[in-house]
A and B are shown apart, each in its own frame.
Chain A
Amino acid sequence: MKRKLCFLIAGVLLFGAAASAHHAFNAEYDANKSMRWTGTVTKVEWTNPHARFYIDVKDANGVVTNWNFEMGSTVQLRRQGWTRDSLKLGDQITVDGYPAKDGAKMASAKKVILADGHSVFSETPTDARPADSNHQ
């Protein structure tokens, strides 16, 4: 009954992703399952429609799985001051995000935090790692 009410009231599809709307977030990622991963950056793809980065995540048994994270487009990231060098291979990072619904080792990244606590790709470039970071 609640679902029907929802549809009747709206009468239309209210598509929350006013954001990129490149694709429907909820058709791909599980919005109810916020997760956290920690791992090492193995690849950064500075591409459209989404920039991506990949990390090796080690579980309690030492088994390593590579996860694929999606971010905004490079156009949008550049506007906020991020560049293709903002995340470096070998960075130890923590990622908060939402996993793919189909079980693929893919997720949409919400927050990316470096080992020193700085955020990357967030909305506040002042969170950026210092220009002369000693992190190589």
Chain B
Amino acid sequence: MRYRPSIIPLASVGRVAICTALAVCFAFSQGNGGAITGKVIDQDGAAVSGALVQAKNLSSNTIYKATSTASGDYRFEALPPGAYEISLPLLGYNAAPQNVLIEPAHAARADIRIADTSLNTAGEDRSFFAARNGTHATPKGPAPRTRDGKPDLSGVWWPPRIVEPIEPSLLPRAAAIVKEWVATNAKGLPSARCLPNSVGLLGVIDINKLVQTPTLLVILYQVDPADYRQVYLDGREHPKDLDPTWKGHSIGKWEGDTLVVDTIGFNDKSWITDTLPALYPHTEMLHLTSRLRRPDLGHLEMDVTFDDPVSFAKPWTMKTVSDLAQGEEVQEWICNENNQDAEHLVGR
């Protein structure tokens, strides 16, 4: 798919031409720093709010971040003059990075048009997903406890929100796989064939239902990574010589009020979609360490450390929070009942 930036790259354009090419180029008197402002909009021209915008100084590699407002506007101020690359680093809305030259005490404008239309499918609009993946009203109060005094993680939970940026460092093998995924528009995503996606304990696409007993935590998935998972709490160890599976083998132990879950035994077929919109590959070496806490009635915290020495230069940790999904219930989901997409996935 071709990316079409809304501003001509300025690497080779002269100074006067820059000011002409930009929509707005005006002077403002606050010190010598420059500013970049703009609007994040979608293909239909509607504002995109809450988009993380990044300005990277191409000489110093210093990164500045801003977030688009409800009207889609973003602003960087007091930027040292120079060439910057404007991009949407985390949201991945298929917006091509743009180069902008900042003159001293001048403001430049760079509107960012995203091309991600999947969030505009009827029934799956952007506002619906902003609502579902954002924060929810949750009941107040302490976390419930089980009869043996442990926090009770049981409940129906909205998908986890990533609360800190993550940047796994990919080894060449994994980077090459990602490059192929980019080239084919991710047409090989296993869930397109109703196969499991994601590797973490909590599915990221829809609600998860946790049912905790003293010896077993059962996780029922609305959509992802599969129908269910068992986390054994009865003190057993991982079996020797595990056959690799889509969801691996999980055992959990309490450390105070934190449930620490160890998962190994993955096959290499699923894609790590826990980090959406970023996707990563993994191998059978993948080892997850998940720490679950219920700090209060309405929240489930999960920190997951991904360790795969074949895919990543070092382990990396993702921190998430899930909100209690009151009034929700996991419904039957038979993916194969009417899956018509698989044969139409052409890629580019």
Q: Is B310 on the interface with A (CB-CB < 8 A)? A: no
Q: Do B93 and A24 touch (CB < 8 A)?
A: no
Cα A73 to Cα B331 with chains together (Å): 11
Tell me which residues across on chain B come within 8 A of A70, comparing CB atoms: 121, 340-341
Chain B residues whose C-beta falls within 8 Å of the C-beta of A47 in the assembled complex: 337-338
Please give, as numbers and ranges, the residues of chain A lying within 8 Å of B21 by CB-CB distance.
Answer: none
Q: Are B276 and A15 in contact (CB under 8 A)?
A: yes
Contact of B122 (CB < 8 Å), options: A22, A31, A104, A121: A121
**How many whole Å from A64's CB to the nearest CB in chain B?**
21
B124 in the interface (beta carbon within 8 A): yes
Q: From known contacts A3-B3, A68-B340, infer whether A80 and B117 are also in contact, taking CB-CB under 8 Å.
A: no
B119 and A16 within 8 A (CB): yes
> Are B121 and A25 in touch, CB under 8 angstroms?
yes
- A23, B189: Cβ atoms under 8 Å? yes
Find chain B residues with CB under 8 A from A60 CB: none
Judge whether A88 is part of the interface by a CB distance below 8 angstroms.
no
Tell me the bound Cα distance from A45 to B191 in angstroms.
20
Q: How far is the CA of A23 from the CA of B116 in the complex (A)?
A: 13
In the complex, chain B residues whose CB is within 8 Å of the CB of A49: 194, 333, 335, 338-339, 341
A27–B185 CB distance below 8 A:
yes
Give Cα A80 to B334, complex, Å: 20
- Does A77 have its Cβ within 8 Å of any Cβ on chain B? yes
Asked whether, in the complex, the Cβ of B340 is within 8 Å of the Cβ of A123, the reply is: no
Per the bound structure, the CA–CA distance linking A34 and B337 in Å amounts to: 28
Residue with the greatest number of chain A CB neighbours at <10 A, chosen from B197, B224, B278, B341: B341
Query: Which residues of B in the span 217-233 have a Cβ within 8 Å of any Cβ on A?
Result: 222-224
> Which chain B residues lie closer than 8 Å to A32 at the CB level?
1-2, 115
Kindly provide the distance from the CB of B7 to the nearest chain A CB, expressed in whole angstroms. 12
Instruction: Determine if B309 is an interface residue (Cβ-Cβ < 8 Å).
Output: no
* A18-B277, A21-B273 given; A82·B186 CB < 8 A: no
Closest A residue to B281 by beta carbon equals A13
User: Cβ of A131 < 8 Å from any Cβ of B?
Assistant: no
Q: Chain A: interface residue count, which band? A: 35 or more
Residues of A within 8 A of B168 (CB): 12
Is the pair B345, A23 in contact by a Cβ cutoff of 8 Å? yes
Q: Which residues of B contact A100 (CB under 8 A)?
A: 344
CB–CB A6/B125 < 8 A: no
Chain B residues with Cβ under 8 A from A12's Cβ?
168, 170, 178, 278-280
Contact of A2 among B5, B123, B128 (CB under 8 A): B5
Q: Indicate if the CB atoms of A28 and B337 lie closer than 8 Å.
A: no
- Chain A residues with CB under 8 Å of B276's CB are 15, 18, 21
Contacts of A16 in B (CB 8 A): 91-94, 114-116, 118-119, 277
Cα–Cα distance between A12 and B187 once the two chains are bound (Å): 16
- A76 contacts partner chain B, Cβ-Cβ < 8 Å: yes
A11 within 8 A of B: yes
State whether the Cβ of A63 lies closer than 8 Å to any Cβ in chain B. no
B43 engages A34 (CB within 8 Å):
yes
Q: How far is the CB of A39 from chain B (nearest CB, A)?
A: 15
Contact residues of A with B, CB < 8 Å? 2-3, 5-7, 9-29, 31-32, 34, 45, 47-52, 68, 70-77, 79-80, 82, 97-98, 100-102, 104, 106, 108-112, 120-123
Sampled A-B contacts (7; CB under 8 Å): A12-B278, A13-B182, A17-B119, A18-B119, A21-B204, A24-B118, A70-B121
Write the residues of chain B forming the contact surface with A, with a CB cutoff of 8 angstroms. Answer: 1-3, 5, 9, 43, 56, 85, 87, 89-94, 96-97, 114-129, 133, 167-168, 170, 175, 178-179, 181-182, 184-187, 189, 191-192, 194, 197, 204-206, 222-224, 273, 276-280, 331, 333-335, 337-342, 344-348
18 new A-B contacts, CB < 8 A, other than A70-B340, A72-B123, A102-B346, are: A2-B3, A2-B96, A13-B178, A13-B278, A14-B94, A15-B273, A18-B277, A22-B335, A26-B118, A27-B348, A49-B339, A68-B340, A73-B223, A77-B123, A101-B344, A111-B122, A123-B126, A123-B128
